[in-house]
Structure 1
Amino acid sequence: MRTYWDILGRYKWSIVVCPVLVLVFVVCETLQPMLMARIVDEGVMHRDIAVVTRIGIWMLGISVAGLLANITNVFVSSNASVGFATELRSRLFRKIQEFSFAEMDKFNSASLITRLTGDVTRLQQVVLLGLRILLRSPMMLVMAFFYVVRIDSGLALIVAGAIPVLGISVYLILRKGFPYFLKMQQKVDAVNAVVRENLINMRVVKSFVRERYESRKFSASNRDLCDVSVKASNIIVTIFPVMQLVLNLSVIVVLWVGGERVAAGRLQVGELVSLVNYLMQILMSLMMLSMIIMNIARASASSDRVLEVLGTEPSLKDSPGASAVVRRGAVEFRNVSFRYGGGETDVLHGISFSVAPGMTVAVAGATGSGKSTLLQLVPRLYDTTGGEVLIDGTDVRDYPLAQLHAQVGMVLQNNVLFSGTIADNLRWGREDASPAEMEAAARAAQAHDFVMSFPDGYDTVLGRGGVNLSGGQKQRLCIARALLRRPKILLLDDSTSAVDTETELKIRRGLREYLGEGTTVFVSTQRVKTMEEADRVLVLDDGKVESYGTPARLKEDSAVYREIFNSQQLTF
C-alpha cells in the first residue's frame, strides 16, 4: 500500500480540497429538509407567501452552492484519479522492463496486459469514488442523523436500529462474494490469453482452417468468465433488495409513529416531512457506502495482482560492486547446470568447455538438447543453477548487466521486429547509428539488396512483427541489428534457418569481414556446412556435452556428429 500512498502524495492538494468540497456539498444537502420543514410549518400552514419566498430563495442559493462544490469536486477528484492510474501504470511497465526471462515465464504476457489495463482501471475507479462518495456517505450519514436527533430523539432510535441491520447484511454478502472477484480477474486473464494467441498466430489458424476450433476455445473461455461473473453478480445484487426492504420498513415505521405524534401535537407536519427526507438521506448514504465497499472488495483482488508484480524482485540484477568490462570475448563454462523455474529436472548437466577470443563455435545437437538454453546463459538472460559462466575469466554475474548486454549481441531463434520503419528497427542495435553504418551492417547480413528493392528503402514501414517480410528477410534484419553493436561476442541461435545455403555462406563471410577477427561467435545450427567452417563444434546430447573439438576430430570421435554429418551427405 505504500506504493499507492507515494503516488497519491503527488496529489496532496486534491486530497485536502476534496473533503472540504464534500463537506460543503453535504452541509448544503442536509440543510434542505430543514428549510423545507420551515416552509411547510411557517409558510404553508400559515399561508405566508413572504416566508415561503424568503426561505425558497435561501434553498435555491444553497442548492447552487452545493452544485458548484460538487462540480469542483468532480474535476479535482477526476484529475487525481486519472493521474494516479497513469503513474501506477508507468511504474508497472517500468517494473516489467526490469524482469528477466524467469519472471516473464512466471507472469504470462496476457496476465500482465490485464494487470496493466483492467486492474489499474479498477483501482482508478476506487480512488475516484473514494474522493467523491466514500467521504460523502459517512458525512451525510452523521449530519442527517444529527438533524433527526435534533427533531425527535425517539424516532432517531428507529433509524439507529436500521443501520446495524444494513451493515451486517452488507458484510455477510460481500464476504461470500469476494472469492469470486479474484476468480473473475483470473478468467479475464484466460480470455485475453486466448485472444492474444489467436491474433498473433492468425496466419497459422487460417492455414490449417482452424477457425472453428479457435472459436470453440474462445467460447469456452468466455463462458467460464460469464459463469463466474454471473455468480458474483447474483451475490452482489442481493444487497439492493435487502436495502430496499430495510428502507421501506423504516419509512413505514417512521410515518406510523410520526403520524401519531403529529396527531397528538408533539410533532409538526413539516418536521415529519423532513424526518422522512433525512431517513432517505441516511439510507441512501448507506447504499452508496455499500457500493463503495463492494468496489473496494473487487479492487482488492486487482490490487493484490498489481502489488504482486510491483513486489517481485527481478532475479537478475547487478551484483554489489559489479564493474567488470568485456574486453576480449573469451568464454568458459565450468561445470554448468541449469533448470527453469518450477522445473523438476536440469536442462543442462555439468557443461564445461572454453572458447578463445575470436573463435567461431557451432553448437549442434538434436531438438531439445539445450542449445538455445546454453546460449542464453552467456549474456545472463538466466542465471545458472550450478557452476559458472565466465567471460574473460570473470563470472558473468560480476559484470553490470547493461555493460554485458552491450558487448554481447544476440539473434534469437524467434525473430522479433517492431512496428516502424526498417531504419527504426535497425537502430535498436545502436540508437545513434548513421545511414552509412546501417547500410554496412545490412550488407554484411545480406539484407541491403532486398531492403533497396522496396520503394522507400530503409524508410519502409513494417507491420506488427514484420508481417510484410518473409522469414529469411526478418532473420537478416535481426542479424544486421545485432551487428550494429559491433559486439565482442555474437550469439546466433539458429538465426539462418530460413535462408538458403548460399545466402548463409555469404552471411558468414559478411560477418567475418564486418566484425573482423576479434569477435567470438556462437552459432546454433543443424547444417553441416556451418559446422565444417567453424573453428570448434560443441555437440550437445540431452543437455550434456557429448563432444567438443574441431570438425575434423569430431568426425573420428563423436558418434552424434558423424550421424549429423552422414545424414546430410545424401547422393542421388
Structure 2
Amino acid sequence: MLELIKRFSGGYVRYFVIGPACKLLEVFFDLLTPLVIARMIDEGVGSHDAGVVVRYGVLLFVMAVVGMGFTLVCQKMAALASQGMGTAVRSRLYRRINEFSHAELDRFGTPSLITRITNDINQIQLALALGIRQLIRWPFLAIGSMVAALLIDLKLGLIFLVSTPLIGLVFWIVMARCVPYFKQMQAKLDRIGLITREGLSGVRVIRAFVREEHERKRFRDAAYDQAAVAIAVGKLSSILNPVTFLVMNLGVCAILWMGGIQVDTGELTQGEVMAFVNYMTQTLLSIVYVANLVVVFTKASASASRVNEVLHCEPSIVDAGNESVDLPSSEAVASGEAPCAIRMDGACFAFGDAEVNTIDRATLELGLGKTLGVIGGTGSGKSTLVSLMLRLYDTRSGSVEVMGADVRAWPLKQLRHVVSIVPQRASLLSGTIRSNLTWRDAHATDDQLWAALEIAQAAEFVRKLPQGLDAPVEAGGKNFSGGQRQRLTIARALVGDPLILILDDSASALDFKTDAALRHAIHERGQRSAAEGGLPLTTVIVSQRVSSVRDADVICVMSHGQVAGLGTHDELLANCPLYEEICLSQLKREELGGSAAPTSAPAVDRPTRVRPQLAGGEA
C-alpha cells in the first residue's frame, strides 16, 4: 500500500496535507467540547445561572459550525486524492496489462486482471479516503482525550491505562486471524468473475446444450464459497465491537463510582466527572473506529499486493533499443536477392513452464509474395506456429525471421504493421464499422476502406446497411452473423497495406464459394501491388479445409507441434501419409490427383463428404 502511495501520490501531496490538517483542527474543537460542557455544568447549572448556560451553548454551536466547515474541506480533499490517485493507478495498471505478451495474459488470466483493475483498486481508493478523513482523527482524538483526562485527575486516569491495553489485545488477536481471510476473499472473487465471464460470453452455447442449471450450480457454489470466507471474517470481526463496548462501559462505571466518591470529598466537581466520562467515551470509541479502519486497510493491503504483482511483472516481450528494420526494395525482389518473407529455423515453444514443447523444432521458409498453407488436426499447434511469426510469443530456442530479420530485433509497432493477422475468433468492438476498420490506420480514406471490404467479400452487405461505413457495431459484433464478422475482421487486417497477411482459420464461417473468392481477391491484390512497384503480399492461411490450402505455394502439415510435412499439394500427397489421410477425409480420391486450378482463376469448391474425424489429427 505504501509503495503505491509513494509511486502515485506525486500530484496529490497537497490534498494529503490539507485534508489531515483540517481534520486536526476539527479534533481540537472536539477535545475542547468536554471542557466547555464541564464549565457549563459547574458555572451555569450548579449556580442556576441561565445566562452562563446560554453563553456556553452559543460557544458550543460556533465550535460545531467551524468544526463542520473543516470537516467539509477534509472530505473534499479526501475525494480528490483518493479518486485521483485511484484513477492514476488504474490507468497505469491498464497500460501495463496492454504491454503484456500473451504469456503474461495466460499467467494471470482475464477474470483475475478484471478483478484487480476494478474491485482491488476500489478497495485501495476506499482506504485512501478513510485514511485522510479518519486515520488522523481517531488516533489523535484518543491520545488527546487520554491526556486531557489525565490532566483532570491522575487517579481516574489509571482506568484508561487498564482499559486501553485490554482493547488493544483483543484487537491484535482478531486482526491476526482476519488477514489471511482477506486474501482468500479476493481469490474467491476472481473465481466468481471467471464463471460469470464464461457464462455470459457463452450463454448461447449454454442454452443450446441446456446447461443452464449446471452453470447456475457452478456460480452458486463459487458464490457460497466466497460467502463462507466472508462470514468467517465477519464472525471474527464481530468480536471487536461487543468486547470493546463492554470494556468501555465497565470503565465508565468505574469512573462514575470513583468520581462520585471524589465529588463527595470535594476533590472533583460534577462537571469534571462528566468531562472525564466524555473523554473516556471518546478514547474507547476512537479505538473502535481505529479497529474498523485497520480492517479496511488490511483489505486494501491485500488488494495493493495484487495490484503490485501486476505492476512488477515485466513483459517478457519488449523491443527497447530495437531499431527500424529496412525492408527489401522492389529491385531486390525482382532480381531474386530479397530475403525470405518468413523463415523458421528449429523454432521451439512451450506455454509457461511446461516441459513438453507445443511447437517442436519447426523449420520452414516462405519467399516474398508466396502463400503458405498450414493444416493439421485440432491441437496440432497451427495457431501457435503463426503466433510466433507475429511475436505474440517468444521461442524457447531456434529463431523466427521476418523479411530477413529476427522478430526479436524488430520494433513491435513496425513488425505488427508489416504483419497483419486475422485471429480464429472474430473480435469486433462496440462502435461503428469505420471505427473497427481503422485500427491499423486511423487515417485510412473511405476508398481504402471500401477496397479492403471488396477484397474481404464484405462490401455487398455493408452497402446494404442504411448507414454504410457508419453502421453501428454492438459489443462483440453481435448484430452481425458469424460470416459477416469474419469478413469484417479480414477487411480490418487488409487496411494499412500489410506485407504479410496471416489468416488463422478465419474463413471457417464462410461458404466454399465465398472462401474461394476471398483467396482469389487476396492473390490479385498481391499481384497488383507487385505490378505497381511495391512489395508483393505474402499470405499465410491456417485452415482445416484442404480446399483452402491446396493451391498454396508451400503447405505445412502440423502434427503434435511438429512439421510432419512440407511441400506442395502434389508433393505431400506422394510423400506425407498424414496429409493424404486429411485429404481423403474431405475429398474423393479422384479429386486429389493433379494440381488444382491456378489461384488467379479458382474453380468454385463444392461440398464433399466429410468423415467424422480428421485422420491422423488429434481429438
Sort the TM-score into its range (normalised by shorter chain): over 0.9
Aligned mates of 1:88, 1:128 — CA distance in 2: 15
| Pairwise CA distance, 1:274 | 0.5
Asked if 2 retains the 8 angstrom alpha-carbon contact of 1:43 and 1:49, the reply is yes
Aligned mates of 1:64, 1:90 — CA distance in 2: 39
**Structure 1 residues 411-453: Cα deviation after superposition (integer angstroms, max 9, x where no partner):** 0011111111111111113211111110000000100001122
Aligned to 1:515: 526
Asked if 1 retains the 8 angstrom alpha-carbon contact of 2:341 and 2:402, the reply is yes
| Pairwise CA distance, 1:57 | 2.0
> Do residues 542 (structure 1) and 560 (structure 2) align?
yes
Aligned to 2:125: 124
Aligned to 1:266: 267
**Structure 1 residues 61-116: Cα deviation after superposition (integer angstroms, max 9, x where no partner):** 11111111111111111121111111111111111111111111011111111111
Asked if 2 retains the 8 angstrom alpha-carbon contact of 1:339 and 1:345, the reply is yes
Return 332-341 or 200-209, whichever deviates more.
200-209
| Pairwise CA distance, 1:181 | 0.6
RMSD in angstroms over aligned alpha carbons? 1.4
Aligned mates of 2:56, 2:306 — CA distance in 1: 53
> Do residues 436 (structure 1) and 447 (structure 2) align?
yes
Aligned to 1:490: 501
Asked if 1 retains the 8 angstrom alpha-carbon contact of 2:341 and 2:403, the reply is yes
Aligned mates of 1:378, 1:87 — CA distance in 2: 35
| Pairwise CA distance, 1:521 | 0.9
Aligned mates of 1:243, 1:106 — CA distance in 2: 44
**Structure 1 residues 4-41: Cα deviation after superposition (integer angstroms, max 9, x where no partner):** 22322211111111122111101111101101101111
Aligned mates of 1:215, 1:37 — CA distance in 2: 62
Q: How many residues align?
A: 572
Aligned to 1:503: 514
The AA in structure 1 aligned to 2:495 is L
The 3-state SS of whatever aligns with 2:31 is: helix
Give the one of 532, 547, 551 matched to 2:550: 532
Aligned to 2:175: 174
Aligned mates of 1:91, 1:6 — CA distance in 2: 11
The 3-state SS of whatever aligns with 1:305 is: helix
The 3-state SS of whatever aligns with 2:142 is: helix
> Do residues 560 (structure 1) and 578 (structure 2) align?
yes
| Pairwise CA distance, 1:207 | 1.4
The 3-state SS of whatever aligns with 2:477 is: coil
**Structure 1 residues 398-423: Cα deviation after superposition (integer angstroms, max 9, x where no partner):** 01111111110000011111111111
Return 317-326 or 215-224, whichever deviates more.
317-326
| Pairwise CA distance, 1:495 | 0.9
How is 1:96-495 mapped onto 2 (pairs within 5 angstroms)? 96-327=97-328, 330-495=341-506
Please list every run of 5 or more consecutive structure 2 residues that lacks an aligned counterpart in the other structure. 329-337, 531-535, 589-607, 610-619
Aligned mates of 1:424, 1:313 — CA distance in 2: 31
Aligned to 2:8: 7
Aligned to 1:33: 34
> Do residues 551 (structure 1) and 552 (structure 2) align?
no
Aligned mates of 1:308, 1:407 — CA distance in 2: 33
**Structure 1 residues 510-548: Cα deviation after superposition (integer angstroms, max 9, x where no partner):** 112223351211111122222221111111121111121
**Structure 1 residues 207-253: Cα deviation after superposition (integer angstroms, max 9, x where no partner):** 12221111111111111111111011111111111101111111111
The 3-state SS of whatever aligns with 2:476 is: coil
| Pairwise CA distance, 1:319 | 4.6
Asked if 2 retains the 8 angstrom alpha-carbon contact of 1:326 and 1:488, the reply is no
Asked if 2 retains the 8 angstrom alpha-carbon contact of 1:475 and 1:495, the reply is yes
Aligned to 2:331: none
Q: Scaled by the length of structure 1, what TM-score is found? A: 0.98
Distance 1:2 1:322, change over 3 A: farther
The 3-state SS of whatever aligns with 1:358 is: coil
The AA in structure 2 aligned to 1:499 is L
Asked if 1 retains the 8 angstrom alpha-carbon contact of 2:369 and 2:526, the reply is no
Return 439-448 or 335-344, whichever deviates more.
335-344
Please list every run of 5 or more consecutive structure 1 residues that lacks an aligned counterpart in the other structure. none
The 3-state SS of whatever aligns with 2:373 is: strand
| Pairwise CA distance, 1:361 | 0.6
Aligned to 2:17: 16
The 3-state SS of whatever aligns with 2:502 is: strand
Aligned mates of 1:113, 1:29 — CA distance in 2: 43
Aligned mates of 1:36, 1:325 — CA distance in 2: 84
The AA in structure 2 aligned to 1:27 is F
Distance 1:94 1:319, change over 3 A: closer
**Structure 1 residues 277-331: Cα deviation after superposition (integer angstroms, max 9, x where no partner):** 0101111111111111111111111111111111111111015344324446611
| Pairwise CA distance, 1:56 | 2.1
| Pairwise CA distance, 1:334 | 0.7
Identical columns (%): 38
| Pairwise CA distance, 1:259 | 0.9
The 3-state SS of whatever aligns with 2:587 is: coil
The AA in structure 1 aligned to 2:392 is L
The AA in structure 1 aligned to 2:423 is L
Aligned to 2:332: none
Q: Scaled by the length of structure 2, what TM-score is found? A: 0.90
Return 374-383 or 321-330, whichever deviates more.
321-330
Aligned to 2:601: none
Return 232-241 or 13-22, whichever deviates more.
13-22
The AA in structure 2 aligned to 1:112 is L
The 3-state SS of whatever aligns with 2:556 is: strand
Asked if 2 retains the 8 angstrom alpha-carbon contact of 1:326 and 1:391, the reply is no
The 3-state SS of whatever aligns with 1:342 is: coil
The AA in structure 2 aligned to 1:380 is R
The 3-state SS of whatever aligns with 2:558 is: strand
Aligned mates of 2:585, 2:49 — CA distance in 1: 110
